[in-house]
Structure 1
Amino acid sequence: MATSRGMDVSAYQGTQDWAGLKRDGLVFAFAKASEGTGSRDSRFDAHIAGIIKARLVPGAYHFAWPNQGAAGEAANYIAAVRPYAKAGSGFTHWLDLERYSDGRNYSGRTAAQIKAYAAAWIAAVQKAFPGQRVGIYTSASDLTAGHVPDGVPLWYPAYPWGAAAYSQAEAAAQPRPSGRAVL
């Protein structure tokens, strides 16, 4: 499987030199757009505008709160990204499905309910942005718990060495979480 260099950013990262990163081999960048039913990332507009201006493959992600409801969360995300997710732009959409360490975003939900939430969020975003990739960013624990619907694109983190150089990450074996290929 070929790799491509990319990164994700949120309000925790400051201004980026997107053109410089592209010259250094960056191909894609995803910016956090929203969380839950009403929260927006304060740096999303600046990050995504810079990503698009640098002509990187753009994408955005939504941090999931399965106990708040898929329809409201999808609406929050769709409203945040609609100005940027133009048809033919290669824009990709990701549901960041991971449990807070204290479990507050999964509280009161079963594995089946979380999986149904994820499927509903994906369907709503696919309907809003036909022809654009919609998938899930998640970890081994959510895959093992059965929270991820089958057949959706998977963005899977593997950080065995902390902040590794791209060359080190590209030389490593590609992960196959729960036997699934990652994109």
Structure 2
Amino acid sequence: QVLNRYTYASTLSHLRRTNTPVGRDGKLAKPRQLHNSHWGLVCPAETPEGQACGLVKNLSLMCYVSVGSDAGPISDFMSQRNMQLLEEYDQNQNPDATKVFVNGVWVGVHSNAQQLVSTVQELRRNGTLSYEMSLNRDIRDREFNIFTDAGRVMRTLFVVESDVRNPTR
């Protein structure tokens, strides 16, 4: 397709367009609908009319695609924070340990996941670790996932610290 340069808004829209590889003549509704996980990432209103309705989607204005960073420093950091490497782990010794994954690869386990997650979040917020790093803790499955790879669709979240002394702030 030729890049549309009529206005700045149309250029942005054209550059942030995604295409679902499904035949346009089909009457299936599911591929045309937004999934719940698309909230905040895909614009629910900006889609063409006609056969391509719902199959051509646009990224939301506040979302971006991650550039990615090296996973080595975060793995080294986790080792310094009492993470047991996978080769050294004995399940009989520590059955309630949380598995630690970096970019989908199981690298080790940690016995105090809550403290580890809080530490990593704080370091990401103050800029020591990359702001593009995604953190996901699954308490039920006892897993802590860290993603640093490229190509993830992300959106900005603002952290609001509540003031216990003044609840109106």
What TM-score does the superposition give when structure 2 sets the normalisation length?
0.28
What TM-score does the superposition give when structure 1 sets the normalisation length?
0.27
Q: Which has the higher contact order (CA 8 A, sep 6+)?
A: 2
State the structure with more CA Rg. 2
* Richer in helix (by share): 1
